[in-house]
Amino acid sequence: MRLNMENITIRLPDGSSRNFPKKTSLHEIANKINGGSGKNFVAGKINGRLVDMSYLLEQNADVVFITRDSEEGVDITRHSASHIMAQAVKELYKGVKISIGPTTDNGFYYDFDCEDSFSLEDMDKVESMMQELIGRDLPIIRKDIPKEEAISLFKERNETYKLELLEDIPDDVVSVYVQGDFVDLCRGPHLPSTGRLKAFKLTSVAGAYWRGDEKNKMLQRIYGTAFPDSKSLRKHLQRLEEAKKRDHRKLGKSLDLFSIHEDAGAGLVIYHPKGAMLRTILEDFEKREHFKRGYQLVKGPHLLKSDLWEKSGHFDNYRENMYFTEIDGQKYGIKPMNCLAHMLIYKSRTRSYRDLPQRYFELGTVHRHEKSGVLHGLLRVREFTQDDAHILCTPDQLGQEIKGVIDFVQDVMKIFGFEYEMALSTRPDKSIGSEEQWEKATSSLKEVLENNNLSYEINEGDGAFYGPKIDVILKDALDRKWQCATIQCDFILPERFDLTFIDSHGTKQRPVMLHRVILGAMERFMGVLIEHYGGAFPTWLAPVQAVILTVTDRSIEFADEVYGRLTSSLLRVEKDFRNEKLGLKIREAQLQKIPYMLVIGDKESNDRVLSPRMRNGKTLKPVKIDEFIALVQQECRDRR
């Protein structure tokens, strides 16, 4: 029996406790309590802190084991995959320097300083070297060493980027991870050995500046992803493939919806007829939904005097995103937001508590200077139109108004088939107003979320400069997340613009202002919709709902009559009367993802009927023209 053997007590998530000798590793503990199944775990948590399975327990602690398929487990697997990739690259290419290799939402990357640029063939080579390293099942070992020792270690290895990173670390002791000949400066934790990486794939190569600064050297970034098992990796890769097919920039071109021309300006969208139609349908939909909920349509100017932007705080807090111009010696700002005109409407007369809430809605086109590097198709642009509204209400009405907006968002998202999550964003560094105003606004939003049992995350410091907000994050058909709707609560601008109402005792009070969008920017929402539906819009949204295809010229007369009848009933119809093979015309219509094809041959002309053929290849029984019109109109009413 060993002398001095102290015991420590660990507490497990189920509340049970176990005793072990001091300096027992998590790995041993897992094996003991799980009957030798410690292999299911990739790491552990000691009093909430993530550690390796090799960690030796020194004190009593709460212990949680991390399974490989948990969110944290997957992240650890990806981080280890990035190290194994870096090791493979260093084995294959001499003189490569490593910089950073973090995980991302869907995978990982590592940035390398390398003379030659990596090609796709290199990726295959790196992947096979990774397989070899996995086959060797090298232990991944953590070492806590004095910072000075780490500096000489990385100096010896000529890893200058690691030396730069070390300069920024204030601690006296740092951790490095070693596997075979490979050493990385890293906090960990990691998989116990390289053999524990089961499923990975390198996905792409790109340039990336060291520390994201374009004044620094351009490094080469290799992206990859890893999963706990090959089945989930396969599923993920299929989803990536599908996402590529649905890319709205690609579909926008093939469906002839919109274009962006460098000659006209980056981030400026030009709508083609079908894209403009899609946008019109969405705008009409929006107007009706707003009118139903007691909003009034308003319209403000694009230019407002700079003095007004100074008063609102935009000049101090938002100037770098704004465009300015000068007319007759007077400076003007091009609006990046629609709030100011709406406040001037409110202020144009005396308001009584009986007039509130006032809900002003505008399809407001705004301009914001986004950096050219972040522009992306319809998703990030410099000119866009928001379905923007400002609700001015009494403090008592605030809760019900916020609830009304949340209900509005929920109704609309159901129509488009989006699932959603909510997040509450709090005060950013750059902001106006007092602590008390922010506190009041934040708790108003929180209260509505909590009273209605809506779950939400908190995004610290992500609010607008004039108030906190609730963001609604959509999940599309491929489970990707998009932020569209927001509700911002603002006690500050009503004060700056001295907005008032007369309460029931005849005294002046301050209204509260909600800034909110439902779809957000129309451009962005359209981009999301295109990808969500893969370009196959439901009938109510489709810019072209039906195309009329003639079999021979003998059918043109009846086909023309059909076209006239459908068009005058406001169906969105195209005709294809070309002297081409029917098979080709059908194929083209299918590529255009038009919901209905109406093939008109001798039989249809003689019987004066339509035989609608659906996008998915299904055909309907022959129907009269009126019946077809009624069918499409019903689908539009049902928003199908």
Region binding Zn ion by CB under 5 A among candidate stretches 107-115, 201-209, 330-338, 398-406: 330-338
Residue closer to Zn ion, measured from CB, 484 or 594: 484
Draw the binding track, 512-541, toward Zn ion (x: CB under 5 A; -: no contact): ---x--------------------------
Region binding Zn ion by CB under 5 A among candidate stretches 338-346, 406-414, 452-460, 627-635: 338-346
Contact 479, 239 (CB under 8 A): yes
Report the distance separating Cα 396 and Cα 512, nearest Å: 9
Can 339 be counted among the known catalytic residues? yes
In whole angstroms, how close is the CB of 405 to Zn ion at the nearest point?
13
In whole angstroms, how close is the CB of 32 to Zn ion at the nearest point?
29
In whole angstroms, how close is the CB of 484 to Zn ion at the nearest point?
16
Can 516 be counted among the known catalytic residues? no
Contact 272, 386 (CB under 8 A): no
Catalytic residue among 390, 440, 516, 524: 390
Region binding Zn ion by CB under 5 A among candidate stretches 106-114, 197-205, 289-297, 332-340: 332-340
Task: Specify burial of residue 182 (Cβ count, 10 A radius: 0-12, 13-18, 19+).
Answer: buried
Residue closer to Zn ion, measured from CB, 339 or 392: 339
Q: Kindly identify the residues of this chain, within the stretch 81-140, that bind Zn ion according to CB under 5 A.
A: none
Beta strands in 527-589 (DSSP E): 546-550, 573-576
In whole angstroms, how close is the CB of 404 to Zn ion at the nearest point?
17
In whole angstroms, how close is the CB of 513 to Zn ion at the nearest point?
8
Which of 73, 81, 71 minimizes the C-alpha distance to 109? 81
Furthest CA-CA distance within the chain: 104
Residue closer to Zn ion, measured from CB, 177 or 420: 177
Residue closer to Zn ion, measured from CB, 27 or 469: 469
Residue closer to Zn ion, measured from CB, 228 or 467: 467
Report the distance separating Cα 444 and Cα 513, nearest Å: 12
Contact 426, 459 (CB under 8 A): yes
Structure tokens at 561: 């009559």
Catalytic residue among 220, 386, 437, 545: 386
Catalytic residue among 339, 393, 484, 489: 339
The one-character DSSP state at 357 is P
Contact 194, 138 (CB under 8 A): yes
Catalytic residue among 184, 388, 471, 476: 388
Region binding Zn ion by CB under 5 A among candidate stretches 7-15, 334-342, 418-426, 577-585: 334-342
Cα 391 to Cα 148, 292, 388, 397, 552, distances in angstroms:
60, 15, 10, 10, 58
Residue closer to Zn ion, measured from CB, 144 or 580: 144
| Peptide bond between residue 189 and the one before it cis (omega within 30 degrees of 0) | yes
Catalytic residue among 45, 368, 427, 524: 368
Can 469 be counted among the known catalytic residues? yes
Catalytic residue among 78, 190, 274, 469: 469
Beta strands in 491-595 (DSSP E): 501-502, 508-509, 512-521, 546-550, 573-576
- Crossing angle of helices 147-156 and 160-167, rounded to 10°: 160
Contact 625, 633 (CB under 8 A): no
Beta strands in 275-314 (DSSP E): 296-297, 303-305
Residue closer to Zn ion, measured from CB, 393 or 636: 393
In whole angstroms, how close is the CB of 308 to Zn ion at the nearest point?
14
68 makes contact with Zn ion (CB under 5 A): no
In whole angstroms, how close is the CB of 168 to Zn ion at the nearest point?
15
Residue closer to Zn ion, measured from CB, 487 or 559: 487
In whole angstroms, how close is the CB of 551 to Zn ion at the nearest point?
55
In whole angstroms, how close is the CB of 390 to Zn ion at the nearest point?
6
Can 235 be counted among the known catalytic residues? no
Can 388 be counted among the known catalytic residues? yes
Sheet (strand 383-393) strand order = 296-297, 358-367, 383-393, 512-521, 481-490, 469-475, 419-425, 456-459
How many residues touch Zn ion under the rule CB under 5 A: the total is: 4
Residue closer to Zn ion, measured from CB, 401 or 604: 401
Terminal C-alpha separation, the chain? 77
Report the distance separating Cα 284 and Cα 187, nearest Å: 54
Which of 192, 23, 191, 179 minimizes the C-alpha distance to 108? 191
Residue closer to Zn ion, measured from CB, 279 or 314: 314
Report the distance separating Cα 197 and Cα 228, nearest Å: 8
Can 386 be counted among the known catalytic residues? yes
339 makes contact with Zn ion (CB under 5 A): yes
Catalytic residue among 290, 515, 575, 585: 515
Draw the binding track, 151-190, toward Zn ion (x: CB under 5 A; -: no contact): -----------------------------------x----
Residue 561 has a CB neighbour count (10 Å cut-off) of: 14
Region binding Zn ion by CB under 5 A among candidate stretches 110-118, 148-156, 395-403, 508-516: 508-516
Beta strands in 195-321 (DSSP E): 199-209, 218-227, 258-260, 269-271, 296-297, 303-305
Region binding Zn ion by CB under 5 A among candidate stretches 304-312, 329-337, 448-456, 498-506: 329-337
Q: Please list the active-site residues.
A: 339, 368, 386, 388, 390, 469, 515
The residues that touch Zn ion, with contacts defined as CB under 5 A, are 186, 337, 339, 515
